[in-house]
């Protein structure tokens, strides 16, 4: 066997060797209290030899055989199954844990632990219905309740069964004495968006009101409520919903700017829009309100004022998006050579904007160009927000 392969095998089997050492020590202690001649099954050592020879399938067969006559090895088998799952060998982990669960004489603690580990195996392999059944069984017998109910919530989120996700999250709150109101508000928003897609707007509005009752800081509920109002032509109400975001989470304010501009313009209230944008710019929440203000000023024929407002912002808080817009304003009045240079600069800013992520997760560092209310990477809710800084807001 090549040296590199041997080294890799040894590294992978270090946990098994540690477990074996623990097992030997435990059996030696018991041997001193038992009559002479009580020893470890030779099959156990044969299984270890198979592992050392990189023959895990044969090793599992032997270990399962040992388990039938050596109840003291249960914890070792649990650890071995966990090791296989962490290495991605889920089929082997399932086989070990299934064999443990099938033993009628297994102690309650060991059996429930094997059930829990088997549930994790099924989740890892995508067999969510089987995992769900096992975690529910654990809840019924009162074992591993916090972990089981937490995984059930994860399963229902993956299955988009928001009713059950809400139900079990509420149970988890009571069991763990924790507040998951932010998560429950998002589940209600998910229900609302499904109802909107089905054409049940009134029921969707009720879910959104429930979401805000659960979590008054739920920006998502305010944005969706504003969207519903805009669709029905209730632009004044839409503005009120969007104004609420200023109190909920300023980081999400850029998401409201486009909706605000559209609502004010449908109402024919350009002066009101200018005043609102000026106030938002003073909050210093990013370049988006400044760009909207500059665009509104420019549309009103106040190009010089729009450019001056943008330049003043860039001197304090430079951003690629701001420079890109300033380049657009600078084309007017520029000579031929200056225009050529501006075109090069424009190509650069456009390239940077297209390449850089607009949103980032504060929990795991995920980056993307689309707002996700649940991070695609770490699955946290409300952790993905607009990126701030020179390459973002």
In the chain, domain spans: 1-143, 357-393
Which H or E run includes 385?
A: strand 384-386
Mean pLDDT of the chain: 84
State the pLDDT at residue 216.
97
In the numeric block, which tokens belong to residue 301? 């024929």
Confidence of residue 171 (pLDDT cuts 50, 70, 90): very high
pLDDT tens per residue, range 270-326: 999 999 999 999 888 889 999 999 999 998 888 889 888 898 888 888 888 888 888
The angle that helices 56-67 and 74-86 make with each other, rounded to 10 degrees, is 150
Say how far residue 4 (Cα) sits from the centre of its chain: 37
Token representation of residue 160: 């988009």
Joined tokens for residue 376: 């695609």
Work out whether the CA dihedral 149, 153, 154, 156 comes out positive or negative: positive
When computed from its CA atoms, the radius of gyration of the chain, rounded to whole angstroms, is 31
pLDDT above 90 as % of the chain: 52
Kindly give, in sequence order, each residue whose CB lies less than 8 Å from that of residue 347, ignoring residues fewer than 6 positions away: none
The reported pLDDT for the residue numbered 10 is 39
The answer on pLDDT for 222 being more than 60 is yes
Which architecture characterizes domain 1-143 according to CATH?
A: Alpha Horseshoe (1.25)
Q: What is the pLDDT of residues 34-86, one digit of tens each?
A: 444 445 566 666 666 766 666 766 776 666 666 553 556 777 778 878 888 88
pLDDT the model gives residue 18: 47
Rounded Cα distance, 218 and 26, in Å = 54
Q: Determine the average pLDDT of the residues in 132-138.
A: 95
- The model's pTM: 0.77
Structure tokens at 351: 């390239």
263 pLDDT above the threshold of 60? yes
Element (H, E) at 367: strand 367-368
CB 114 within 8 A of CB 97: yes
Range 222-226 average pLDDT = 97
What pLDDT band is residue 153 in, cutting at 50, 70 and 90?
very high
Task: Output the pLDDT for position 40.
Answer: 56
Question: Cβ distance 225 to 236 under 8 Å?
Answer: no
Q: Which of 84, 137, 91 is nearest to 112 (CA)?
A: 137
Q: Give the separation between CA 365 and CA 380, rounded to whole angstroms.
A: 11
Specify the pLDDT at position 88. 87
At residue 326, the pLDDT reads 87
Q: Are 353 and 321 in contact (CB under 8 A)?
A: yes
Give the span between the Cα atoms of 179 and 127, in whole angstroms.
Answer: 29
349's tokens: 């800013």
Helix axes 181-197, 162-176, angle to 10 degrees: 170
pLDDT at 375 over 80: yes
Q: How confident is the model at residue 140 (pLDDT cuts 50, 70, 90)?
A: very high
H or E element in which residue 368 lies: strand 367-368
- Give how far Cα 49 sits from Cα of 59, 66, 80, 188, 290, Å: 8, 14, 15, 55, 70
pLDDT higher than threshold 80 for residue 136:
yes
pLDDT of residue 330: 81
């Amino acid at each position: 066997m090549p040296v590199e392969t041997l080294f890799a095998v040894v590294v992978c089997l270090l946990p098994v060797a540690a477990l074996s050492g623990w097992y030997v020590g435990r059996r030696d202690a018991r041997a001193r209290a038992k009559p002479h001649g009580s020893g470890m099954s030779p099959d156990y050592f044969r299984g270890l030899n198979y592992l050392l020879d990189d023959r895990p399938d044969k090793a599992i067969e032997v270990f399962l055989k040992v388990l039938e006559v050596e109840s003291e090895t249960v914890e070792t088998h649990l650890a071995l199954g966990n090791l296989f799952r962490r290495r991605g060998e889920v089929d082997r982990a399932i086989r070990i844990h299934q064999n443990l669960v099938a033993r009628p004489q297994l102690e309650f603690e060991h059996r429930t632990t094997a059930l829990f580990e088997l549930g994790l195996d099924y989740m890892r392999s995508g067999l969510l219905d089987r995992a769900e059944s096992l975690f529910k069984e654990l809840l019924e017998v009162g074992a591993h309740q916090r972990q089981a109910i937490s995984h059930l919530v994860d399963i229902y989120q993956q299955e988009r069964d928001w009713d059950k996700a809400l139900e079990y999250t509420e149970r988890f709150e009571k069991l763990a004495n924790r507040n998951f109101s932010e998560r429950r508000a998002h589940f209600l928003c998910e229900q609302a968006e499904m109802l909107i897609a089905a054409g049940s707007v009134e029921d969707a509005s009720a879910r959104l009101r429930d979401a805000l009752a659960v979590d008054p800081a739920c920006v998502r509920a305010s944005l969706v409520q504003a969207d519903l109002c805009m669709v029905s032509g209730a632009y004044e109400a839409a503005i009120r919903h969007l104004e609420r975001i200023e109190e909920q989470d300023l980081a999400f304010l850029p998401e409201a700017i486009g909706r605000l501009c559209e609502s004010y313009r449908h109402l024919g209230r350009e002066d009101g829009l200018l005043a609102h944008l000026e106030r938002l710019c003073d909050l210093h929440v990013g370049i988006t309100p400044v760009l909207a203000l500059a665009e509104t000023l420019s549309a009103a024929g106040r190009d010089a004022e729009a450019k001056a407002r943008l330049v003043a912002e860039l001197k304090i808080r430079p951003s690629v998006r701001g420079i890109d817009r300033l380049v657009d304003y600078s084309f007017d009045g520029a000579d031929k050579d200056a225009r050529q240079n501006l075109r090069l600069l424009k190509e650069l800013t456009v390239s940077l904007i297209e390449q850089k992520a607009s949103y980032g997760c504060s929990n795991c560092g995920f980056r993307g160009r689309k707002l996700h209310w649940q991070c695609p990477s770490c699955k946290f809710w409300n952790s993905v927000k607009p990126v701030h800084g020179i390459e973002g807001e």
